[in-house]
Amino acid sequence: MSTLYPVPLTLNDGTHTDFGRFKGKVVLVVNVASQCGFTPQYAGLERIYQKFRDQGFEILGVPSNQFAGQEPGDDEEIAEFCQRNFGVTFTLTTKSDVRGKNQHPLFKQLTQFKKGPLPGMVKWNFEKFLINRDGTIIARFAPTTEPDAPEILAAIENALT
């Protein structure tokens, strides 16, 4: 697949759509969890969303309970947690598998990206994938890389220009 646009998505509110809703935008896709040591990254994600959204930038958070059961809530609880604790306004999907036999089709595509330090399957919560305006994966960042780290900000700014 040369573009992610046909990949189906179900948003946290139950809306059925596809990645094509982001056509022409730069998107950071992040697998998220509410009870992870990296959960405070929600705040940084929201900050960069607010910083760049008027330039055509989006964040897609994909909750997953596949790593140490760190996302046990249902979709409504997850949305409420994110809003209450971090003021999250970026898009969230329904809880999904990011690896394994029931892997979401989006992550089947994302994990084919072979450049950078983390090729292959998702290893933990808060891995980040940057998608350009053409729907092509251009970068992948480790869970330990903060959303507002210089390398992520530079990659976003470069993709937006």
> Where in the sequence numbering do the catalytic residues fall?
36
Nearest to 123 by CA among 54, 43, 68: 68
Helix (H) or strand (E) holding 88: none
Reading the block at residue 9, the tokens are 């998505």
Instruction: Please name every residue paired with 29 in a beta bridge, in sequence order, or none if there are none.
Output: 60, 129
CA-based diameter of the chain, in Å? 39
Instruction: Please name every residue paired with 91 in a beta bridge, in sequence order, or none if there are none.
Output: 60
Do the Cβ atoms of 36 and 69 come closer than 8 Å?
Answer: no
